[in-house]
Amino acid sequence: MHSRVIIIGSGPAAHTAAVYLSRAELSPTLYEGSFANGIAAGGQLTTTTDVENYPGFPDGIGGYELMEKMKAQSIRFGTTILAETISKVDFRARPFKLWVEDAEDKEPVTADAVILATGASARRLGLPGEDKYWNNGISACAVCDGAVPIFRNRPLVVIGGGDSAAEEAMFLAKYGSHVTVLVRRDQLRASKTMAKRLLAHPKVTVRFGAAAVECAGEPQERGLLQSLKVKDLRTGDVTDMPANGLFYAVGHDPATLLVKEQLDCDADGYIVTRPGTSYTSVEGVFAAGDVQDKRYRQAVTSAGSGCIAALEAEKYLAELEDVPVANGVEADTEVKKPTSAEAPEYRSNPLL
């Protein structure tokens, strides 16, 4: 089966790209995956209860419901959505080849362009009680969840010692009664400026050499987190700490195992895109959403990057139609790396 453009992913970036490409009459095929990377179709938003910072929903909306609406919009405009996982790709020549999981020995599906929107997963610590209180007091996104009522004027805890942990702690200080940052080491990994601001904040306490070992709270179903057991790593003592909110700031893992041998990725595994664009190191392959965004990781920024990827894929496909052909075969199907001289309209755009 051949598609002009294939989208791999199922979150806001993937569906925004699908809507734009469908409306451009490019008939995209979207592979949403079957629990790809251990997450249900719809991505990380499906594990979020209330989304209050996505425009257009003044009363908030459930994460799962939001993704169902995006999926319905993609289908409405003509996107073909397949609940299959792409497990292997070959980007060395066009058309690109992609294989479905458990069918790697069969003929691949092909595409003239591919948009990667496979996302990233927040790292968890696997603490006792973590699964029970996830989204009921435990979160991996302070910006997403910090303002919800269950955290207001309550004691909150952040785990991590880098810039992200410092930023999240100071953000949460706007809402919680006090924020405690648990750092396993005896110093912060954050930049000197960020560490100085954090340590000087009147509503933040940093506990060095400390680690959470258990989450506890209300016993009923959908009960809320109420406390943590915290271990002093120097003495071995374990004490109870009141905590109505626990926020992980220990990093994310981008879903790039599928492509990291064929595309340029950074030291943390994120796909490298040319600044201000969705262009990857392979011409005709585009990346959008959290798989290439280690900084913002918001649903709305993912949707915006999905729009960018769709517009750039549409432009790329239009240019392909101008490639000279001989005897019905393109003169050159070898994929080349794009040069920095391309897309000058994006390089100076301060919004991208």
pLDDT in tens, 11-26: 999 999 999 999 999 9
Q: Tell me: pLDDT of 259 over 90.
A: yes
The whole-number average pLDDT for the span 111-128 is 93
pLDDT of residue 156: 98
Position 16 scores a pLDDT of 97
What mean pLDDT comes out for the span 225-243? 97
Other C-beta atoms within 10 Å of 108: how many?
A: 18
pLDDT, residue 143, reads 83
Sort strands 178-183 and 155-159 into parallel, antiparallel or unpaired.
parallel
pLDDT given for residue 242 in this prediction? 97
* Residue 144 appears among annotated catalytic residues: yes
CA–CA distances in Å: residue 70 to residues 67, 133, 141: 5, 27, 21
Q: How far apart are CA 203 and CA 170, in angstroms?
A: 8
pLDDT of 241 higher than 90? yes
Active site residue 215: no
When pLDDT is averaged across residues 149-177 and rounded to a whole number, the result is: 94
Full strand arrangement of the beta sheet holding 245-248 = 138-139, 245-248, 155-159, 178-183, 204-208
Q: What is the largest CA-CA distance in the chain?
A: 77
The average pLDDT across 88-116 equals 95
End-to-end CA distance of the chain: 35
Per-chain mean pLDDT for the chain:
89
Q: What is the mean pLDDT of residues 60-75?
A: 93
Q: Which of 112, 144, 290, 293 is catalytic?
A: 144
pLDDT of residue 42: 72
What is the predicted pLDDT for the residue at 350? Answer: 39
Would you say residue 162 has pLDDT above 80? yes
Pick the catalytic residue from 90, 105, 145, 163: 145
Arithmetic mean of pLDDT, 187-203: 94
Q: What does the alpha-carbon distance between residue 66 and residue 68 come to, in Å, rounded to a whole number?
A: 5
Q: What is the pLDDT of residue 37?
A: 60
User: What is the rounded CA–CA span in Å between residue 123 and residue 125?
Assistant: 7
> How far are the Cα atoms of 285, 316, 317, 319, 325 from residue 322, in angstroms, in the given order?
18, 10, 9, 5, 9
pLDDT band at 38 (very low <50, low <70, confident <90, very high): low
Percent of the chain at pLDDT > 70 equals 89
Q: Pick the catalytic residue: 112, 131, 141, 322? A: 141
How many Cβ atoms sit within 10 Å of the Cβ of residue 77? 16
